[in-house]
Each structure stands twice: as C-alpha cells, then as structure tokens.
Structure 1
Amino acid sequence: MKSLTVTNSKAHSSSAIPDIADALSNFRLAALLGWQDVAQRYRRSRIGAFWLTINMGVLIGALGLVFGTIFNSPMREFLPFICIGLILWGYYTQIVSEGCTGFVANTDIILQLDIPFFTYILRVWYRNSVILAHNLVIFPVVLLIFWKPIGFSALIAVPGFIFVTLNMTWIALVLAILCTRYRDLIQIVQNIMQVMLYVTPIMWMPDHLPQSASHAMLTYNPFFHLVSVIRNPLLGESVTLLNWIAVAGLAVVGWAFALLLLHKYKARVAYWL
C-alpha cells in the first residue's frame, strides 16, 4: 500500500508531456523490456522468434493462393500485395491488442516503481517492431520468387513508418488508459479490429470493388491510409496526397487527445489497477 501511495503522489506532480519526455529520454529501458519479452517467449527454441516468420509465411502462402484464386488475380501482383498487407496488419493488430493491456499487464511494476507510463507503451511498440522486422524477411523472398524488382521509391516507406509509429503509439496510449478503467472495452476493441480486417484492403485489392463502394471504404478508413504509406512504396506504387494528409492529421488530432487524457487521468491509473 505504501508503494501505491508513493507512485500516485509522484503522478500528481507530473503532467503528460514530462512523462513522455522522460520515457523517450530513457528509451533503452523500454527497448530492454521489449527485447526480453521476445527472448523470454522463445528462450529454449533454436529458431527463436523466426517461428513467427514461419507461421506468417505459411499464412501468406495459404491466403494468397485461396484469395488470389477467388478474385482471379495474377499471383505476381496479388501475392506481394497480400504479403506486405498481412505483415503490417499483424503489426497493427498486436499493438492495438497489447496496448489495451499495456498498463494492466505491468500492474506490479506500476504499483512499486516510479517509471513513466509511456515507457510501457514504448515497450509494446518495440516488442512488436522487433517481430515486424522478423516478418519482413518474407517480403523480399516473395519478390525474388516472382522476379519483381524494388526501386528507390521503396525508401518512401521510411517516413511512412515514422507516421505509423506516431499513430500507433497514441492509439496504444489511449487504449491503455481507457481499458484500464473499463475492462470490457478490451473485447470491444478486438471485435472492431476483426471487422476492420475485412473492410481494409488486406486480403483483397482496391480494384476488386466497384468504384462507388471502394471510395467510402477507403477514404474514411484510417487503417487503409496507415497501410498505404508503407505498402505502396514497397510495391513500387505512389502514396497519394490523401494518404499523407490522413496519417498526418490523425497523428496531430490523436496525440492532442492522448496528451489530454494522460494529463487528466494519469494520477488515477494506479487506483484502477
């Protein structure tokens, strides 16, 4: 009980921005915790985290053949498309899902140590970014199979990933706060992500839909823009101005809301655990 009191007295004296600044300045702690999460999961495995790569590769191959046949799409175009789409979607889904329990899963640490709350969000982000790096190994293999070249335009995926990181971290932070207070929200978020998988062009290509239907499903779908700023450059396609405006606007509005939420409820998080 004493540790709980100490933690909360310090929380009252800190606002959202100092918390995030402290977490970023001590990023090595979040990286160490995130790396240990991955290492612990595959401690006695010879292949290690590459089991995730193998599982993802099997999934990509199976879904690529099935949906490519259903939509009668050329495998040379469809398999790289679904490959990078599924890899990115797995990354987004895991950050959202683990973001929901970002504080709950670290209850013991939060109640005993005065660590910035954003450190736990960075831990989620880093852990899943390591897994993303492992899974991305599949993409060049798919390109080699079809002798599909990749140009310098692929470098545009780097600023795309920066915008994705800005958005996924504020989403995880908001969900961590809200789901700590309202535990039923975790199930709701998971159901929403399942629905978003089918309305986002991951297992189907935008040109598979009629023009009237695709406009609404793509323009107002934030995950479509988050996927496009990375996937399009890697496939040699251009990122539209709408994609950049959407991810930038989402980051600005989202972080404004996240900072407000963290500032208002930071002192209460430990009581909700």
Structure 2
Amino acid sequence: MPVVHAGRTFSRAVEDLRQGFAQRELWGHLGWQDIKQRYRRSVIGPLWITLSMAVTAAGLGVLYATLFDTDIKTFLPYLTVGFIVWNFMLGCMTEGADTFISNEGLIKHLPAPLTVYALRTVWRLALMFLHNLLVYVVVLAIFFPYLVQDGYFLSPGGLPQPGLDWTIINAVPAFVLLALNGTWVALLFGIISTRYRDIPQVIGALTQLLFFMTPIVWPVDLITRKLGTSAGWMVWVAELNPLYHFIQIIRAPLIGSQQSWHHWAVVGGITIVGWALAMLAMRNYRSRVSYWV
C-alpha cells in the first residue's frame, strides 16, 4: 500500500487556500504597496498606468482602423477594451510565473500561506486594470452615441451588433471569473517556475505569439470579409484560442457586441480544469517552494 507524505494532502492545500483568502488585509496591503513603490517619486504616480494605456490604444487604434478600413468610432472601443483585458491576462501569466521567485525573502521569513503571494499578484494587476478602465470610460463617453445603435458594425460587411444595453453588467461577473483564473495561473505557473527557472522566459516568448493570434486588434468577422469562405480555418484558430473567450466575456458587454453562451462555457470549463491542476500542484509541491526559491 503506497504511503502518502503527511504534507502532501489535498486538505493541506485547501487550508492554504482558505487561509490565503482570509488574510485579505495582508495581500491587499502588499499589492497596494507594489503600485506605490513602482511609481515612487513620480509626479502623477499610478496615473502613468492610465496614460500609457491611453497612448497605446489611441495610436494602435488609428493605425489598425486605417489598415483594416474600419470605422474608428466603433473599432477604437473594441481595441481599447481588448488591450485592457489582455494586459491583465498577460500580467497573470508573466508576473504570475515570478510570483514566488519575486517573494523569496517573504516566503523564507514570513509564515504565510503561499496563496497570499498569488493573491498579491492578482490584486496588484486588478488595481492596474481599474486604472486602465478610466481609458475605457473616456472612450465610451466619446463614442457612446455610436455604440448604442442597434445593428452597428465592427467592420464593414461584418455581423451587426446589438449595441450597448443593460447587459453591460455582465462584465462584473466576467472579471471576477477572470481574476479567479488569474489566481490559479499564478499558483500553478509560480510553483512550476520555482523549480524550472526557464519557464518565465518561455511564457514571455509565447505571449508575443498569442497576442497576434488572439482577436485583440482585429475582429473575427474581418477575416471572413477579407478572405471569404476560405477563412474558415482562421476562425477556428481564434475559437480554439482560450484567451479569446476570456477577452470576449468582458469585451462583448462593455461595447455592446454580440454575446454568446459558448464563451462562458469555455471559460467555465477552463476554470474547473485550471483549479484542479493548481490544487494538484499545491498538494504535491507546496512544501517544496520555500526550498526551491
């Protein structure tokens, strides 16, 4: 009969998770301090987050709207929200992989659950997400009359969109779901990266490819308009990209775009599988992280 190590039990992993969420004052304070420290002695402080996002969205919005021959009035909100959500997901993957490595000093000297450090990372990224939402508010205020129109187009000849309505509130549970996924990503990638230090570099390289493969700066219906029926395989490439579904459950309600239940179904399935893998990693390797870092 196989012997199970006393420290390798799901009950210990669940307890680490429970205590981590319970210590919200600790990870909340650490995450906020990260933002303050990053912009220490800066004149406008964290508003640099908002300003950099605004410049990026405006510059690339005008560029790609011209290249794709789309209407800037509806395309810029589409691209802006895509960038905001992408930045959050990118942070969960890249900074999440460094979660325990960057907290080496605290892990060795502070008796806190490992979940605290993952939540610190996600909370910091959530604060940056809220700062970036100010850009969305400004864009929404400028282009609101065009986004509330029933049947507006993201690209000429594309699918008609229903327009902004009360379903905008769906963005709230969508972000909660996104943050929950960001937490298991930080836990799982963080544990793996402490053992194999090449993982953060691999993730950084792959995210550049994923950015261009994900419908962030290009609408899916733009492909069918440009390539016709021969673009079917490219649509499937977008649909098989899990990041697309995470972006769409937030972007669709925020810009009044067509919402589909299958995006939520895919995200829900990934959430279950991701947390199962994270809990398995916590069960087997939680006690080793302090030695690996």
User: What is the alpha-carbon distance in structure 2 between the residues aligned to residue 33 and residue 73 of structure 1?
Assistant: 43
1:203 aligns with 2:217: yes
**Structure 2 length as normaliser, TM-score?**
0.87
Question: Shift of the alpha carbon at 1:239?
Answer: 2.5
User: What is the alpha-carbon distance in structure 2 between the residues aligned to residue 237 and residue 205 of structure 1?
Assistant: 11
Question: Shift of the alpha carbon at 1:84?
Answer: 0.5
Q: Which residue of 1 aligns with 2:238?
A: 218
1:265 aligns with 2:285: yes
Q: Which residue of 1 aligns with 2:257?
A: 237
Q: Which residue of 2 aligns with 1:72?
A: 69
User: What is the alpha-carbon distance in structure 1 between the residues aligned to residue 8 and residue 167 of structure 2?
Assistant: 47
After superposition, the C-alpha distances for 1:126-164 in whole angstroms (9 at most, x for unaligned) are 101111101100112112222334432110111111211
User: What is the alpha-carbon distance in structure 1 between the residues aligned to residue 137 and residue 66 of structure 2?
Assistant: 22
Question: Shift of the alpha carbon at 1:12?
Answer: 6.7
Structure 1 SS opposite 2:111: coil
Q: Which residue of 2 aligns with 1:5?
A: none
Question: Shift of the alpha carbon at 1:171?
Answer: 1.1
Please tell me whether the aligned partners of residues 31 and 124 of structure 2 are also in contact (alpha carbons under 8 angstroms).
yes
User: What is the alpha-carbon distance in structure 2 between the residues aligned to residue 260 and residue 12 of structure 1?
Assistant: 10
Structure 2 SS opposite 1:226: helix
User: What is the alpha-carbon distance in structure 1 between the residues aligned to residue 239 and residue 215 of structure 2?
Assistant: 12
Question: Shift of the alpha carbon at 1:241?
Answer: 1.4
1:190 aligns with 2:204: yes
1:42 aligns with 2:39: yes
Question: Shift of the alpha carbon at 1:271?
Answer: 1.3
Instruction: Give the one of 91, 105, 116 matched to 1:119.
Output: 116
Give the stretch that moved more between structures: 142-151 or 119-128: 142-151
Which residues of 2 match residues 11-50 of structure 1 at below 5 A? 15-50=12-47
Question: Shift of the alpha carbon at 1:120?
Answer: 0.3
Code of the aligned partner of 1:32: H
Q: Which residue of 2 aligns with 1:171?
A: 185
Structure 1 42/132 Cα, relative in aligned 2: closer, same or farther at 3 Å?
A: same
Structure 2 SS opposite 1:201: coil
How many pairs does the alignment contain? 264
Question: Shift of the alpha carbon at 1:112?
Answer: 1.3
1:153 aligns with 2:167: yes
Structure 1 11/37 Cα, relative in aligned 2: closer, same or farther at 3 Å?
A: farther
Code of the aligned partner of 1:265: Y
Superposed structure 1 runs of 4+ greater than 4 Å apart: 10-14
Please tell me whether the aligned partners of residues 8 and 284 of structure 2 are also in contact (alpha carbons under 8 angstroms).
no
Structure 1 SS opposite 2:103: helix
Cα RMSD (Å): 1.6
After superposition, the C-alpha distances for 1:70-120 in whole angstroms (9 at most, x for unaligned) are 000000111000000011111111121111110010111111121100100
Structure 1 SS opposite 2:257: coil
Q: Which residue of 1 aligns with 2:134?
A: 137
Please tell me whether the aligned partners of residues 191 and 289 of structure 2 are also in contact (alpha carbons under 8 angstroms).
yes
**Structure 1 length as normaliser, TM-score?**
0.93
Task: Report percent identity of matched pairs.
Answer: 36
Instruction: Give the one of 70, 83, 88 matched to 1:91.
Output: 88
User: What is the alpha-carbon distance in structure 2 between the residues aligned to residue 110 and residue 90 of structure 1?
Assistant: 27
1:247 aligns with 2:247: no
Gap runs ≥5 in structure 1: 1-9
User: What is the alpha-carbon distance in structure 2 between the residues aligned to residue 206 and residue 50 of structure 1?
Assistant: 32
Please tell me whether the aligned partners of residues 8 and 283 of structure 2 are also in contact (alpha carbons under 8 angstroms).
no
Structure 1 SS opposite 2:144: coil
Structure 1 SS opposite 2:99: coil
User: What is the alpha-carbon distance in structure 2 between the residues aligned to residue 102 and residue 261 of structure 1?
Assistant: 15
Q: Which residue of 1 aligns with 2:48?
A: 51
